[in-house]
Amino acid sequence: MTFFPISKMKIIFFSIFLFVFQASFSQKLIVPVIKLTEPLKEINNTNNPQKFIIGSTCPSCSLTINNQPVKVYPTGAFAYELALIEGDTVFTIVSSLPNRKSVTKSLQYSYTIPLPEEPTQSFLIERIQTFPDGDLLLKAGDAISFRVKALTGCTLKVLNKTLLYEMPDTITNGMVGIYQGKYIIQPTDTFNNQKISITLMKSDSIVSKETTAHFTLLSPAMSDVVITKGRLAHLEYGLGDDRLGGAKIGYIDSLIPLKVIGKVGSHFKIKLANTRTAYIPDELVNQLPPGTFTPSSLTGKIHIYGDSLYDYVRLQLFNKLPYQSFQETDPSKIIVDVFGATNNTNWIDQLETIKEIKKVTYEQIADDIYRISISLKHHQHWGHAIYYDNNNLIIKIKQQPHSLLINKLTIAIDAGHGGTNTGAGGPTGVAEKNLTLALALKLQKQLEKDGAHVIMTRTDERFFDNKERILFYRDSLPDLLLSIHLNSSADPIHVEGTSTFYRYEGFRPLSQAIYKRMLELGFKEYGNNASFNFMLNSPTEYPNALIETLFLSNPAEEMKILDENFQQKIVDKIVLGVKDFLESAK
């Protein structure tokens, strides 16, 4: 038996007492709590029967909703799926600790089953839809499509001229009283920011209703030419829109005249060629004076040369013209269509200074579309940019880096969101912006440890506009860009997994390599997704990938990302994915 001096025994007993006291005191500090991130209101009205209660409580608490036990994750997060029945339902949430007080929160959902639409019963026009939707700038020969809901069995006319026809209920989901038709703009029409009247007639009764949209006709007194401005002017395919904006054809240089043939809302409709139209937001152009005409151009010679980092294709033109580019793989090519150009190229001169271009060909694929095809020596696209030097169109092609070792490259890391742009939120209330920054800083440290030169969008908690990010990297010209995000879904229980996103086919290998490595962490597949319309995926100057690491909305995946050790595992997989990509590029 070992005997301790009295003083030493006092210290041991005091330490034990202190430990027990602290444990007991800390237990007393833990109190039940309920913090909800969904819903935020106590009384909620909905016509969707599937809803979720999402939030957090103390990690050691037990939780019930209407006496049903609910799983509480070690972070305190929980998610509970509701299957609402018609009428009012009260949900009582109880969080409790053994032998302690509990806390209760009540919610009410009022679920109303949406009633099927009924036919119009009265002699009236219930609604008018016009296509395209919104205020329009038009010219003679353009068509406005109408879809009108009114009393069945009547006669409807646009401007008392054009008849609208009632559709058979077999193509209107059983609804009678749906009328459709087109009105062709006439040379004699004189719309000037006016609404259009629809007339409903039956027997001797007549009633009229106007469109909500306004219509204006192009006239000789109006300018039908705009010119691009700024560094982020871009053309869009059509009027489709989502939270990421309209689908972009691509960015174009400033000071390029464009022929206006109409306007829908805030978007000018542009004629690129006889068979091609596009749209451009009005904030990206200035209108030129009336009488200005859009130029066309014969092509001159093509000059091909290189320097230490880039190869160049210079097409001689006599005016600035709009263009579009896209990438092809297997074999790798860059295709550039120049709109309004007519072939007059007599030769192509090619210098031995080029390192990435294999050959360049051209063809007139339409009367007013001139196509340049640039075949590359390497299967991997490393980026290209298009701009004007005076009236010469320059296609700048990045050469494959001399070394594909990670310590020879410049890698950009974009920590998604920041500042007032908080991004997604987790059940515990954690914001995406903070987690993307934590991942980005760890990724920076790991890549720099491997010798890479790293440039960062942000290294602290602040707002950084996406347009500013694009321009920052356009000026910095990294070899690769990795944009770090966390995904989110309205369904926190069934939706989970990791995913990557890319816009251009030539950049797919980077996101694919990272995606395969991320799956090694045991995530479910959410896909390597193509043609993604995110702004950070839109530059063509360098390979880029958006990495949606996991679903922050899912409590189990939120728990993983809150663990700094797991954050490091994600970072390690991203780095391995980049190395795999570089190896495949060899």
5-50 pLDDT, tens digit each? 545 455 444 444 444 444 444 445 688 999 999 999 999 999 999 9
Beta-carbon contacts of 342 under 8 Å, excluding residues fewer than 6 positions away, are 296, 297, 298, 299, 364, 367, 368, 370
Q: What percent of the chain has pLDDT over 70?
A: 95
Overall average pLDDT of the 389-412 stretch: 97
Report, as an integer, the average pLDDT of 483-493.
Answer: 98
Contact predicate 452/409, CB 8 Å: yes
Query: Is 297-398 the same fold as 125-216?
Result: yes
Mean per-residue pLDDT for 391-410?
A: 97
Partner residues linked to 410 by β-bridges: 453
Cβ partners under 8 Å of residue 512, min gap 6: 500, 528
Burial class (CB in 10 A: 0-12, 13-18, 19+), 483: buried
pLDDT band at 183 (very low <50, low <70, confident <90, very high): very high
CATH 2.60.40.3500 correct for 297-398: yes
**pLDDT grade for 199, boundaries at 50, 70 and 90:** very high
Supply 302's token pair: 């093509």
Helix (H, G, I), strand (E, B) or coil at 212: coil
The C-alpha atoms of residue 3 and residue 21 are separated, in whole angstroms, by: 26
Assess contact for 355 and 364: CB atoms under 8 A: no
Q: Confirm if 574 and 482 have CB atoms less than 8 A apart.
A: yes
Closest of 434, 373, 403, 375 to residue 558, by C-alpha: 434
Higher pLDDT, 30 or 164: 164
Structure tokens at 190: 């004189």
> Among candidates 200, 39, 60, 54, which has minimal Cα distance to 109?
39
Joined together, the tokens standing for residue 276 give: 């091609």
Residue with tokens 């770090």: 484
Q: Among 9-18, 100-109, 124-133, 418-427, whose mean pLDDT is lowest?
A: 9-18
pLDDT tier for residue 472 given thresholds of 50, 70 and 90: very high
Kindly indicate the confidence band of residue 243, based on its pLDDT and cuts at 50, 70 and 90: confident
Q: What is the mean pLDDT of residues 248-264?
A: 96
pLDDT (0 to 100) of residue 7? 53
Max alpha carbon distance in the chain (Å)? 117
**Residue 12: what pLDDT?**
42
Q: Are 497 and 526 in contact (CB under 8 A)?
A: yes
What's the pLDDT score for residue 99? 79
Contact between 274 and 296 (Cβ < 8 Å): no
Span 519-533, average pLDDT? 96
Please report the DSSP string for 6-75 in residue order.
Answer: HHHHHHHHHHHHHHHHHHHHHHHH-----EEEE--SSEEEES-SEEEEEEE--TT-EEEETTEEE---TT
583 vs 221 pLDDT, higher one = 583
Buried/exposed code over 133-169 (b: 16+ C-beta within 10 A; e: otherwise): eebbbbeeebebebbbbbbbebebbbeeebebebbee
Mean per-residue pLDDT of the chain: 94
Instruction: Say what the pLDDT of residue 241 is.
Output: 80
Distance of CA 99 to the CA centre of its chain: 50
What is the CA 339 to chain-centroid distance, rounded?
27
Residue 239, helix vs strand vs coil = coil
pLDDT higher at 509 or 31:
509
Helix (H, G, I), strand (E, B) or coil at 262: strand
Q: What is the pLDDT of residues 277-306, one digit of tens each?
A: 999 999 999 999 998 989 999 999 999 999
For residue 32, whether the previous peptide bond is cis, meaning omega lies within 30 degrees of 0, is no
Model pLDDT, residue 29:
61
356 Cβ neighbours under 8 A, 6+ residues apart: 306, 311, 376, 377, 378, 382, 397, 398, 399, 400
The arithmetic mean of pLDDT across residues 153-167, rounded, is 96
Helix (H, G, I), strand (E, B) or coil at 204: coil
pLDDT at 291: 86
What HEC string does 79-97 produce?
Answer: EEEEECCCEEEEEEEEEEC
Domain ranges for the chain: 35-111, 125-216, 225-287, 297-398, 406-585
The three-class DSSP label of residue 441 is helix
**Measured distance CA(439)–CA(561) in Å, rounded:** 9
Which is it for strands 162-166 and 155-158: parallel, antiparallel or unpaired? antiparallel
Query: In whole angstroms, how far apart are CA 521 and each of 17, 81, 181, 574?
Result: 44, 27, 56, 11
> Regarding the domain with residue range 35-111, which homologous superfamily does it belong to in the CATH classification?
Immunoglobulins (2.60.40.10)
Residue 3 has pLDDT above 50, yes or no: no
DSSP for residue 301 = -
Question: How far from each other are the two terminal CA atoms of the chain, in whole angstroms?
Answer: 70
CATH class of segment(s) 225-287: mainly beta
Distance CA 394, CA 269 (A): 26
H runs (alpha helix) in 100-152? none
Residue 574 CA to its chain's centroid (Å): 22
Q: What is the CATH number of domain 125-216?
A: 2.60.40
Phi-psi region of 50 (alpha: psi -120 to 50; beta: other; left: phi over 0): beta
- CATH number 3.40.640.10 is the correct assignment for the domain at 406-585: no
Cis peptide before 492 (omega within 30 of 0): no
Would you tell me the crossing angle of helices 508-519 and 564-585 to the nearest 10 degrees? 140
Residue 144 has a pLDDT of 96
pTM here is 0.91
Residue of 33, 171, 42, 139 whose CA lies nearest to 95: 33
pLDDT of 140 above 70: yes
CB-CB contact of 423 with 486 (8 Å): yes
Would you say 524 and 495 are in contact if contact means Cβ atoms under 8 Å apart?
A: no
- Peptide bond preceding 59: is omega within 30 degrees of 0, i.e. cis? no
Average pLDDT for 206-219: 95
Whole-angstrom Cα distance, residue 556 to residue 561? 9
Q: What is the pLDDT of residue 148?
A: 98
Cα distance between residue 470 and residue 488, in whole Å: 24
User: Could you read off the pLDDT of 47-104 as tens digits, one per residue?
Assistant: 999 999 999 999 999 999 999 999 999 999 999 999 999 999 999 999 999 877 899 9
pLDDT of residue 2: 43
| Segment 534-544, tens digit of pLDDT | 999 999 999 99
